[in-house]
Each structure stands twice: as structure tokens, then as C-alpha cells.
Structure 1
Amino acid sequence: MSRSRQQVVRMLALVPYLQGNDGIPVNEVAAEFGVSPKVIRDDLRLLMYTGTGEYAGELIDFDLTALERDGIVHIRDAEFMDRPLRISAREGVALIVALRTLRASASGLELTVIDSALAKLESAVGDTASPAVDVLVDEVDPAIHGTIVEALTGRKRLALTYATVSRDEQTDRDVDPRRLFTEQGKLYLEAWCLKAEDLRFFRLDRIVSAEVLAIDAEEHDAAQRDLSDGIFTVGEQTPFVVVDLHPRAHWLTEYYQVDLVSQGDDGVWRAKIYGADWSWLRRLVLRNAGSVSVIEPAALREQVVDDARLALKAYDDHVVYEES
């Protein structure tokens, strides 16, 4: 379980525990939850921003003077936690969308819990949630998805075979999984890669195989990152090719690292496509011959033309013509 998830679970348990043990020393709370007193103090400060509103009586409060001076925890204004939660139709729809998005990255027992919550929310919101909201996430291999969830649940290390698109290759690596999440309709695994010795993002539809290892996943001192800090980053020295993409090649803008330059009325898009090296960019253009035209650099354009001519010549040399 990731640190953030551990904190959420701990904080959910903290409120009822402190309601039943008001005036307890912070050291005893820390011992009960198996963390340091500093962690509990940080949790309490965060809980002070939690509640059903933004005014007094709607937010959990603590006696900070007693906490800082005497190390004693007095909880205040948490009675609303026992009252049924009332939400507006707009809030209900927002929760439904969030749960449907969460459902896309869940499996096993998680699905049962999410579906139960969804059924209750959809029943409560009723016809006000119209039109229906659908969350679309690309399908992935259910076996691979289940294996990753198993590793996350059991806090085990994973052995992955991953297709690195920017280098047109497959690599084997061991990772310590941290979380699953969705971004722009894609399902990702955030994990500590032992090969790179750093955090990496792995798109599930590019994972060729996954195996749970009999090794406990380790905790690594690395802050959670945005997807923009992922596997392939563009820098000043990153090779790129400027191309014209005909309609049949528009899909490249969604699958690769691309900057869209312009969109013509004739359906041709001009774009920069980035790659790990020039040979990969050349192969990408050749694989999409007829739909992708190289504009610059001129050297790559000439190389692509030469490669295409050689391929056609080799094909012609092996054609057997029949006399009519």
C-alpha cells in the first residue's frame, strides 16, 4: 500500500478513535497506530481542513495549545461525522464520475465495493443525472491487470516485460508497484523501476507480461509525480522530425510524443514527432509510408526516400512476370 493510501486509511480510523479517547497523549496514539508522534501531529493538522463545509461546526477541530504544550489530543466539532451526509445533485454526479473512473482501474473485491457505492449514488441522484455520463478507458489484458492488482494488494515486487514505443523495443525489468491510475483514457502503473533506479510510469496496454515475485516490494523515498515527469521526456537534444500527417496517420498524435503545429483544411496535419534516436524515427516514417511525409530535416527525408527505393527495387527483383 502506498504512503498516501496508508495515510487515508489511518486518518479515517483516527477520528472515531479520538472521539472515544478524548484527552489521550499523542505518544499513545502514535503507538496505537504504529507511527511516530510527528506523523500523528501532521495527520491532525490535515484533519483540521476536513469536514462537510468551511465554517465552524462543519470542520474537525483540535485543541492545538494542549497538543503543542502538553502533548494531549482533544478533538472538537466532529459530531457531524455521525450525521447522514447530504449532497446536492451536482455533487452526486461528480462522485459518480469519480467512482466510474476509479472502477476502470479496479478489479476483484474492489469492483464489488465500488459497484455497491455506485448503485446507491445513482439511486439517490435519480433522473437528475441526465444525460448519462460514461468514462471510457482503453481495454487492457485482464490477466495483466489482475496480476498488477494482486501485487499492489499483497505489496509484492513485479517482473514486467514492457514495450518501449519511443525506442521500438521490449525490455525486462523488476519494479516495486505504487499505484494504478488513469490519464486521458489510458491506464497506468506508477512503480519504482529497479533497472532505472527511479520512478517510472508504465502504460498497461504496453505491458507484454507481468509476474508477481515472491519478494516484498520496498518503500522508496520518492515523491509522487505527474505523468508529465514520465518515461519519455523531451529536451533540447531530443531528436524530432517535422512531418505532414494525412488523415490515416492522425492516430500518431495520440500514441506518440507529438507537438501539433497546424491543421490544414485538406485534413493534413503538420506535427513534430519526437523519438529516442534517428533510426527509430526513420522506421516510424517508413512503416507509415503514404500517410506520413517528411518535411525536415532534409537528411532524414533523403534517407527515407533512399530506403523506400531500395525496398521497391528488392521487391521488383523478386517479381516473376508472366507473358500474356
Structure 2
Amino acid sequence: MNRSGQQVLRMLALVPYLQGNEGVPVAEVAREFGVTPAQIRADLRLLMFTGVGEYAGELIDVDLGALDADDVVYIRDAEFMQRPLRLTPAEGIALIVALRTLRDSATGAQLAIVDSALAKLESAVGGEVEAPVGVHLDEDDESIRATIVDATAAGRRLRLEYVGAARDERTVREVDPRRVFVEQGRRYLEAWCLRARDLRFFRFDRVVSAQATGESVEDRAVAPRALGDGLFTVGDDAASAVLDLDPAAHWLIEYYPVDELAAPEPGDGRRRVRLFASDLDWIRRLVLRNAGTVHVVEPSSLREDVALWARSALAAYDDDDPITQE
């Protein structure tokens, strides 16, 4: 879901939450919704243009004096949002799927809240659902996940050891977490990277270690950004290679930036792609790691390089002298 859609859903939840928590500090609201205080302030200013009409008393009113002077939130004229929410079966199932996805990224007290909401939804929708709804997410380390989620909720800086997708390099960097979300079956952390001095996205399954530093995150005014903006960007200087993928290697299409080309032999199960990366050395390592299922079509220099490395590796097993083998 894009940023605009997420903001709409958050604002729909904000109103009843604020109605039941008058005078709540902005920082507490931000922690509750997993965003920055600056984002909550932006949401509140947008809420002031929302209502059942266009005149005073018909629009939601936010006490800007209390917001600016005391950093607390009071809202008025939002009683129209107290009507009971009625869901269609399809809407209920969609919420169940969303909550089960959220549950896989929750820890501690959050689990109890999600489980309680799930139980109520499943009870209400259960008669309309013929089969259980399952959600599959890529595996990642449970302890790392808990550290990231807890630090994000508490507004604490993280030190990550991370393996990048473009260069396959392991780096250590400190980040200020902003939110945790799921995209296409994978968990991501959106954070301000102190090393890059910019917003970045970190895939959970590429995080080798995570540690909270104890420092509070800095509240930065960062323009909204889509997921793809924080990942490897295919620019004019990007390296590329044409590869034939056996069925066992089709997962690469979803995992790395590629352009899919016409199949070499229709019906044989292979798929031809142009794969992009920061350099050809990284592509060579990728092909060797998936030997037998990924085949280099072009450039010829890469195909020859892969063959040379493969022969060198096989030669190491041809030495019959166990003393000299390493």
C-alpha cells in the first residue's frame, strides 16, 4: 500500500483513539501508531479539513494552541465518527489478512492487542469464511525482528549489520527507525541512515544483527518516499547481464531488479531476463551460487569469467593428495 493509503487508514483510526484519550501527548500518539511526531502533526492538520460539511461544527476541530504550546492533542466536532462500523464479509476477510500480516511483525504487548482484534473479527466473520486465511512471509531472525520492532515503537536508534542487495556487501550502520511494514511478503524497516544521510529501506532477512544504542531518534522532516526509492536503482551506469533461468531459479525475478525478455525456447520452462546490479563481479558471484540453474547468455566476457571460476573450483577437488588440500 502506498503512503497516501496508509495515511487514510491511520487517520480513520486516529479519530476514535483521540476521542477516547483527550490530552494525550503527541509523542505517545506517534509511538502508538508507529510513526514520527511530525507525521502525527501533519495528520492532525489534514484532519481539520475533514467532516460532514464545510462550516464550523461540521469539520473536525483540533486545538492548535494545545498542540503547539503543550504538545498534546484535543479534538472536537468528530462525533459523526462514533457510528458503529459495519463491515461486509469481504472487508472483514481483508482486515483479517492485514492483521495476520501485522501479527508476524509484532512483539510483546502488541501481540495481545492484535490477537484480541483478530479473535473479534474472526468471530464476527467466521460464518462467512469457508477456509482459514493464511499469510506467508519470508523467514527472518525472530530476535532481530523483536529488537527492530521494539526500538521502532520506543523511538530508539539502532545499530544494524546489514547485507546489501546490490553489492552483496556487509556493512554496519546506525539508523533512526521510522516504521516497520510488509511489502510483497517481506518485512522492511524504513529508517533514516546516518551513514547515507538519507532515508533507506532495510529488509529484515538481510539484517545480520540489530542492537538498540539507547539514543533517541531525531525527528526529521523527510518527504514521503515509495519503497522502490530506497532500494537499488537501475541507472544509466548500472551493470547488466542477460541470463536464462531454470524453473528452480525463477525466484530471482522477484528478488532482484530484472527486465523479463522473450523465452529462449517456449515451453521448456526457462525464462530469460536482463538482470541489473552495481557491477558484473556481483552478477558472477550470483551465477556461481546458483550453478546449474542460472546460465549466462551475454556478455560473453561474463560467460567466460564464470566458466573460468567454475573450472578453478572443480580443479580443487581433483587433487588426490589430502595433505595439500585446503
Q: Give the structure-1-normalised TM-score.
A: 0.78
1:84 alignment counterpart: 84
Q: Quote how far apart the aligned CAs of 1:90 are.
A: 2.2
- In structure 2, do the counterparts of structure 1 residues 262 and 44 end up closer, same or farther at CA, with 3 Å as the change threshold? same
CA distance in 2, matches of 1:217, 1:90: 39
CA distance in 2, matches of 1:67, 1:288: 57
CA distance in 2, matches of 1:243, 1:90: 41
In structure 2, the residue corresponding to 1:47 is in which secondary structure? coil
- In structure 2, do the counterparts of structure 1 residues 297 and 66 end up closer, same or farther at CA, with 3 Å as the change threshold? closer
Letter in 2 for 1:145: R
CA displacement, residues 108-135 of structure 1 (integer Å, 9 cap, x when unaligned): 1111111111111111112212233212
1:63 alignment counterpart: 56
- In structure 2, do the counterparts of structure 1 residues 292 and 67 end up closer, same or farther at CA, with 3 Å as the change threshold? closer
Q: Quote how far apart the aligned CAs of 1:86 are.
A: 2.5
Letter in 2 for 1:42: R
Equivalent pairs, count: 291
Contact 1:161 1:171 (C-alpha < 8 Å) held by counterparts: yes
1:185 alignment counterpart: 185
- In structure 2, do the counterparts of structure 1 residues 117 and 171 end up closer, same or farther at CA, with 3 Å as the change threshold? same
Contact 2:162 2:171 (C-alpha < 8 Å) held by counterparts: yes
In structure 2, the residue corresponding to 1:167 is in which secondary structure? coil
Q: Quote how far apart the aligned CAs of 1:160 are.
A: 0.3
1:205 alignment counterpart: 205
1:281 alignment counterpart: 283
- In structure 2, do the counterparts of structure 1 residues 63 and 270 end up closer, same or farther at CA, with 3 Å as the change threshold? same
Quick one: which of 305, 308, 324 aligns to 1:306? 308
2:221 alignment counterpart: 221
1:235 alignment counterpart: 235
- In structure 2, do the counterparts of structure 1 residues 275 and 313 end up closer, same or farther at CA, with 3 Å as the change threshold? same
CA displacement, residues 124-172 of structure 1 (integer Å, 9 cap, x when unaligned): 1122122332121122211101111221122110000001132122100
CA distance in 2, matches of 1:143, 1:313: 41
Q: Quote how far apart the aligned CAs of 1:74 are.
A: 10
* Larger mean Cα displacement after TM superposition, 291-300 or 190-199: 291-300
In structure 1, the residue corresponding to 2:166 is in which secondary structure? helix
CA distance in 1, matches of 2:292, 2:59: 74
Q: Give the structure-2-normalised TM-score.
A: 0.77
RMSD: 3.5
Instruction: List gaps (5 residues or longer) in structure 1.
Output: 21-29, 49-58
Report which structure shows greater RCO (CA 8 Å, sep ≥6): 2
Letter in 2 for 1:156: R
Q: Quote how far apart the aligned CAs of 1:62 are.
A: 5.1
2:272 alignment counterpart: 270
In structure 2, the residue corresponding to 1:188 is in which secondary structure? strand
CA distance in 2, matches of 1:74, 1:282: 59
Contact 1:11 1:43 (C-alpha < 8 Å) held by counterparts: no
- In structure 2, do the counterparts of structure 1 residues 187 and 46 end up closer, same or farther at CA, with 3 Å as the change threshold? farther
CA displacement, residues 181-205 of structure 1 (integer Å, 9 cap, x when unaligned): 0011101111011111111111101
1:319 alignment counterpart: 320
* Larger mean Cα displacement after TM superposition, 206-215 or 251-260: 251-260
- In structure 2, do the counterparts of structure 1 residues 39 and 131 end up closer, same or farther at CA, with 3 Å as the change threshold? closer
- In structure 2, do the counterparts of structure 1 residues 96 and 41 end up closer, same or farther at CA, with 3 Å as the change threshold? closer
CA displacement, residues 245-269 of structure 1 (integer Å, 9 cap, x when unaligned): 1223223223322222234311111
Contact 1:177 1:189 (C-alpha < 8 Å) held by counterparts: yes
Contact 1:60 1:75 (C-alpha < 8 Å) held by counterparts: no
CA distance in 2, matches of 1:86, 1:119: 17
Aligned-pair identity in percent equals 47
In structure 2, the residue corresponding to 1:222 is in which secondary structure? coil
* Larger mean Cα displacement after TM superposition, 112-121 or 269-278: 269-278
CA distance in 2, matches of 1:92, 1:254: 29
Structure (1 or 2) with the larger CA radius of gyration: 1
Instruction: List gaps (5 residues or longer) in structure 2.
Output: 1-6, 30-36, 66-73
CA distance in 1, matches of 2:143, 2:284: 34
- In structure 2, do the counterparts of structure 1 residues 81 and 261 end up closer, same or farther at CA, with 3 Å as the change threshold? same
In structure 2, the residue corresponding to 1:165 is in which secondary structure? coil
